[in-house]
């Protein structure tokens, strides 16, 4: 049996374990699967290039059926007590624990990230379920004193209804769960449009979810999936029956979604591009900085929205740190992501490889130098053509390519020679504002970086890298990153509408602001 046959046999085993087959419908209202009359989506593994399976996508008539069913499901689901909804999510977390290995392997096969990262992504799903369970008893409002006698004011929160969730390929299961777990405990129903590059992952999640929902009598329509191409996302974005659309992807995609949802005065939660930097101070622990920088740059083959794209290194430690970085890169093992000896798997597809090559060409044309040349790897084990060598590029702040996000393992090295203010200025001088970090043992530098005049990103870290956000904190960024917040903290408020209530328990009706109105 050759390598491709071994990989195919391995994938088939994972599909069977998760209740999937080679041919699947990709449209469901929860327990019921529709035909998927909108065409077929092939899923090729970037690991080997092999066809894993096919998924049938939604037609327009099936889309309408899903929306109608979701509306009916919401009318019942919103009346369930929030702690009872939380109990369902708790059971889903347990089901994910039982399926962690199989789902993690499927993520690795279909997306290409390492098995350890696949397991980590499923752990994020488990963590958000745990977080949501606690929140289901803490959807608090406020009580306020009224200026009018014998009156009471308070705020409460109600579910929006239908929540459209559009996810990207790089986190094919976790980002859906960030949205779904919180939306469900808030009383919303979820309509998921997964990336057409990783459709099988969505079906595996639904099989796990549906068993929990069926056991608990959750109404049909609470967890819906609409696999399909760009047109399905457009249907969701333009549909006034969906008051909230959460979309993760490129800035270009986010602009289209934001415009469509905004035109109908809906609400959008956008998690878009990142051009994340780590500042390496002359007061940094360079060994610690090395670990954070390398994982941030090459983890998930540079296909995280929080991947480290730029290192802003103080001139006095630049050459020393560059040598350490080159030595670390030379030890990286690239190959089958299911082989735990490897650090880096493939890019998602050939289009991603082309983007990688185009960025390297642009950097060369703009005068950059290469500390480590990038290339596409060929030969045994690299048959898919999606494996690339992580590149280290010595660049300057003014190069156009440094301003762009390339979803690939390309790391730009930039120098600074002044104080921390210069480094922060360079870091902030990009269009994106997702994640940032500083490596320093100087308390004043660290606090300056976190101050109101410091990092302009939604995430700012000290002595850890730009990647690896925890569930407890709100996740999201500023500027062209979209401004959305998901996952932790009070992100649950995104999925609910606020209502202010005033109760008059007196025998007269005084008006606010002392207005007199006699009749």
Q: Write out the catalytic residue numbers.
A: 271, 305
SS3 at position 464: coil
Paired tokens of 484: 């959305």
Q: Which among 414, 435, 200, 169 has a CA at the least distance from the CA of 301?
A: 169
403 CB-near residues (< 8 Å, 6+ apart): 275, 430, 431
85 within 8 A of 77, measured Cβ to Cβ: yes
Separation of alpha carbons 232 and 7, rounded Å: 32
> DSSP code of 332?
-
Longest CA–CA separation in the chain, Å: 92
DSSP secondary structure of 11-45:
HHHHHHHTT--SEEE-EESSSPBP--TT-EEEEE-
Separation of alpha carbons 54 and 20, rounded Å: 10
* 223-226 and 23-25 strand pairing: unpaired
* Per-residue burial over 474-503, b = 16 or more CB atoms within 10 Å of its CB, e = otherwise: bbbbbbbbbbbbbbbeebbebbbeeeeeee
């Amino acid at each position: 049996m050759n390598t491709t046959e071994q990989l195919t046999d391995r994938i088939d085993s994972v599909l069977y374990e998760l209740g999937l087959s080679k041919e699947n419908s990709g449209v469901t209202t929860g327990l019921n699967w529709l035909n998927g009359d909108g065409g077929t989506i092939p899923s090729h593994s970037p690991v080997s290039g092999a066809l894993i399976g096919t998924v049938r996508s939604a037609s327009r008539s099936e889309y309408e059926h899903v929306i109608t069913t979701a509306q009916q499901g919401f009318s019942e689901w919103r009346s369930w007590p929030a702690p009872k909804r939380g109990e369902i999510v708790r059971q889903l977390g347990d089901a994910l624990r039982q399926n962690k290995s199989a789902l993690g392997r499927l993520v690795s096969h279909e997306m290409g990230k390492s098995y350890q990262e696949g397991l980590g992504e499923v752990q994020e799903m488990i963590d958000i379920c745990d977080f949501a369970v606690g929140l289901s008893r803490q959807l608090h409002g406020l009580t306020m004193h009224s200026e009018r006698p014998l009156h009471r004011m308070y705020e409460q929160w109600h579910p929006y209804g239908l929540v459209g969730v559009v996810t990207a390929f790089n986190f094919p299961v976790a980002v859906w769960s960030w949205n779904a777990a919180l939306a469900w405990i808030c009383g919303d129903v979820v309509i998921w449009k997964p990336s057409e590059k990783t459709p099988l992952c969505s079906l595996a999640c639904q099989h796990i979810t549906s068993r929990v929902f069926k056991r608990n009598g959750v109404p049909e329509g609470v967890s819906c999936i609409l696999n399909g191409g760009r047109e399905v996302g457009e249907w969701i974005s333009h549909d006034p029956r969906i008051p909230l659309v959460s979309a993760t992807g490129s800035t270009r995609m986010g602009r289209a979604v934001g415009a469509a949802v905004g035109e109908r005065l809906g609400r959008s939660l956008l998690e878009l591009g990142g051009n994340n930097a780590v500042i390496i101070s002359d007061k940094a622990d360079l060994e610690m900085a090395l670990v954070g920088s390398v994982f941030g740059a090459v983890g998930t083959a540079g296909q995280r929205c929080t991947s480290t794209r730029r290192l802003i290194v103080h001139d006095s430690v630049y050459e020393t740190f560059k040598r350490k970085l080159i030595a670390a890169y030379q030890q990286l093992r690239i190959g089958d992501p299911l082989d735990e000896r490897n650090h880096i798997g493939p890019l998602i597809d050939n289009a991603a490889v082309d983007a990688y090559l185009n960025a390297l060409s642009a950097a060369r044309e703009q005068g950059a130098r290469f500390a480590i040349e990038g290339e596409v790897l060929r030969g045994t084990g690299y048959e898919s053509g999606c494996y690339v060598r992580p590149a280290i590029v010595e660049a300057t702040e003014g190069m156009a390519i440094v301003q762009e996000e390339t979803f690939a393992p390309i790391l730009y090295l930039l120098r600074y020679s002044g104080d921390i203010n210069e480094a922060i200025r360079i870091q902030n001088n990009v269009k994106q504002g997702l994640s940032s970090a500083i490596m320093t043992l100087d308390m004043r530098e660290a606090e300056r970086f976190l101050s109101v005049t410091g990092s302009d990103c939604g995430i700012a870290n000290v002595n850890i890298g730009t990647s690896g956000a925890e569930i407890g904190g709100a996740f999201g960024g500023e500027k062209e990153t979209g401004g959305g917040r998901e996952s932790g903290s009070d992100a649950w408020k995104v999925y609910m509408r606020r209502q202010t209530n005033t109760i008059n328990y007196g025998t007269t009706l005084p008006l606010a602001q002392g207005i007199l109105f006699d009749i």
